[in-house]
Amino acid sequence: MAKQTATAPTTTVLAIAPTAELAPTTSPSRAYLTAAVDEATGEVTEISRFRYLPGHPRQVRFDAKAGQFNIGGTVPLGNSLRFIPLAWRVFEDDILNMGRKLWAELFYADDKGAICAVLFHGYSVENLYRLIEPLFYDDLTLADVVVKVQATRKETTKDGKKATYYIAEFSYEPADSQEVAARRDFAQDFPIWRQETYTGAADLRISHGYTVPAPELPAEAPASEEVETQQAA
């Protein structure tokens, strides 16, 4: 199925499903869409369960010094996350003015339907690999399960002084098949990426559902303009 960059077949990506009554005899055309009935007109519409501005997901940050997650550095989320990934990549790149590092970038829908992106690096990426490997041999991926991320406290000694830091540890549990299908369809219909972390120079290790839209090509000049240019030359 061809990628779409702005809208789904019958809804915009920025829409959120209202609390309208579900149509009892209508199945949504895509798993992430909700069929609803307008009580006044009886018209059946389809509205996305997820909210996403392509290339600009909600930024969820892992503060490895405090062992806390937050939104945009301001809204606290606690010391753990729980979500079904809809896309991810593990890559090496120089991003966010932090030098070249190995990163894991995961995209998911939060409990309000907002598409989010969260980054990990260092030992946290190694821990993610430890989760991906057994899933692979069970013929599963991160997109098939609920991933649980827990900030775990660690200590190190440098120059005779103890220092505390946190790494992310990962585990999983079975996910509802309908929720998995909704995220799978959404990742198929829309480019899932984050503009601030894309450089075009990444060394990609693994990827799933991650898609950067192709750059728009400049429009070709009309044939008459090409002839005039050639004559002028």
Q: What are the tens digits of pLDDT across the range 183-193?
A: 999 999 999 99
**Is 166 among the domain residues?**
yes
State the residue range of the domain holding 115: 58-208
**Is 12 among the domain residues?**
no
**Is 100 among the domain residues?**
yes
pTM: 0.80
DSSP, res 24:
T
Q: Helix, strand or coil for residue 129?
A: helix
Reported as a single tens digit per residue, the pLDDT across 95-107 is 999 999 999 999 9
Closest CA to 107 of 177, 52, 31, 189: 52
Q: How many domains does the chain have?
A: 1
Confidence of residue 226 (pLDDT cuts 50, 70, 90): very low
**Is 200 among the domain residues?**
yes
**Is 163 among the domain residues?**
yes
CA atoms of 202 and 165, how far apart (whole Å): 27
Give me the amino acid identity at 113: G
Residue 33 has pLDDT above 70, yes or no: yes
**Is 170 among the domain residues?**
yes
Paired tokens of 225 = 């303009």
**Is 41 among the domain residues?**
no
**Is 2 among the domain residues?**
no
